[in-house]
Amino acid sequence: MADATSAGAGGGGVPDGDRNKLADRYKNYFPIGAAVDSQSYMTHAALLKTHFNSVTAENEMKFESLQRTEGNFTYDAADRIVSFAVASNMKIRGHALVWHSQNPSWLFSNGAGGTVSKEALLARMNSHISNVVRHFEGKVYAWDVVNEAMMEDGTYRTGNLADGQRSRWYEILGESYIAEAFKLAHAADPDAKLFYNDFYNYLPAKQQGIYKMLKGLLDQGVPVHGVGLQAHLNIEPSTVSTNQAYYQRVANMEEAIKLYSSLGLEVQVTELDISLYIPGVTYNPSTFYTTATFTDELKAKQAARYGEFFELFRKYRSVISGVTFWGIADDNTWLSEFSSGRKDFPLLFDVDHDPKPAYDAVVDF
């Protein structure tokens, strides 16, 4: 692993010590986080401690990880990450309490081959949120309470979708599951900052839908404090006008930040990465990127894209209270975990944990 002091040249006016440490460089802006897993907080500890001051557990605080069987809460893996973060003086974001994905199968079942009743599901939601939020009280400062409840067209994610996409929470409880989840989380830890988290916030219809939903919640007095922009981005917008990523532009992301913050909500970038693949383009094993085909030109292009999004984030530092990457270095990213075998290189540090041109673009301002 390279010495962190070898990071980037240039960047007029950047104090050297600060350029070499990402979170220090952003100390007057917002905390810089990374998603970690049960291994990476150890294998990538040097990078984490040097450059980041916040962590999110990538999977270890999801419903299926914490309550695989009803009533048996398993906190060991999450607690190890939390202990590391506390010992390293890092903030901890909790992710995620209520989501349509990564749930244990018992959750929506009545145990007799049918669907759980509305009352029983509410009781399960109550038990899960109360237990989990109290367990991490004083350590987890912010929770993604509800994740991905909206569709691209700004309507709710319902139960009438393909498996893996549908929301059984909505199907069984209706849209009130969202307000309920926030109220329960607030009751469990009144000091925790509660977030609504979602992806494709640059889509005009989706950002309007999220805005309307949040406004409705706030009007009813539901305790929502912030919005998480996942920000799984691509190296360039799609050229296909029917593809969601056609709208993946800085100006559209800016609209989302303006809209949400106009409600008095904080904004956090919660799952940032920039994939080399362009949505709408067909790839096959011969065009999948490798460390050899991730050329200097592509690295520069990715760096420029990181640069323009961070310029936006800095501009909104008064409302942005955190920016978290979905991983630490390119040797450990969810984007390379798909069964296709397709590798991706979406983060600021390379497979050897050395800073990439993207790193320089983020710290040189």
Bridge partners, residue 124, by sequence: none
71-130 binders of ligand XIL (CB under 6 A): none
Rounded to whole angstroms, the Cα distance separating 110 from 116 reads 4
Whether 255 is catalytic is no
The answer to whether 58 contacts ligand XIL (rule: CB under 6 A) is yes
**What sign does the CA torsion over 336, 152, 182, 264 have?**
positive
The answer to whether 255 contacts ligand XIL (rule: CB under 6 A) is no
Work out which of 230, 234, 268, 332 binds ligand XIL, going by CB under 6 A: 230
The answer to whether 38 contacts ligand XIL (rule: CB under 6 A) is no
Nearest residue to ligand XIL by CB is 334
Work out which of 75, 106, 288, 334 binds ligand XIL, going by CB under 6 A: 334
List the x/- string, 259-288, binding to ligand XIL by CB under 6 A: ------------x-----------------
Whether 271 is catalytic is yes
Q: What's the closest the beta carbon of residue 209 comes to ligand XIL, in angstroms? A: 18
From 58, 171, 180, 271, the catalytic residue: 271
135-174 binders of ligand XIL (CB under 6 A): 147
Rounded to whole angstroms, the Cα distance separating 61 from 129 reads 11
Q: Are strands 54-57 and 91-98 parallel, antiparallel or unpaired?
A: parallel
Rounded to whole angstroms, the Cα distance separating 277 from 239 reads 13
The answer to whether 316 contacts ligand XIL (rule: CB under 6 A) is no
Judged by CB under 6 A, how many residues of this single chain contact ligand XIL?
Answer: 6
Pick 102 or 293: Cβ nearer ligand XIL:
102
Closest by CA to 239, choosing from 247, 231, 228, is 247
From 58, 60, 148, 255, the catalytic residue: 148
Whether the Cβ atoms of residue 161 and residue 153 lie closer than 8 Å to each other: no
Kindly state the tokens that stand for 329.
């270095």
Pick 57 or 363: Cβ nearer ligand XIL:
57
The answer to whether 332 contacts ligand XIL (rule: CB under 6 A) is no
Closest by CA to 214, choosing from 166, 251, 173, 179, is 179
**What sign does the CA torsion over 9, 25, 45, 289 have?**
negative
Helix axes 250-261, 204-219, angle to 10 degrees: 10
Rounded to whole angstroms, the Cα distance separating 225 from 218 reads 9
Residues engaged in binding ligand XIL (CB under 6 A)? 58-59, 147, 230, 271, 334
Positions annotated as catalytic residues are: 148, 271
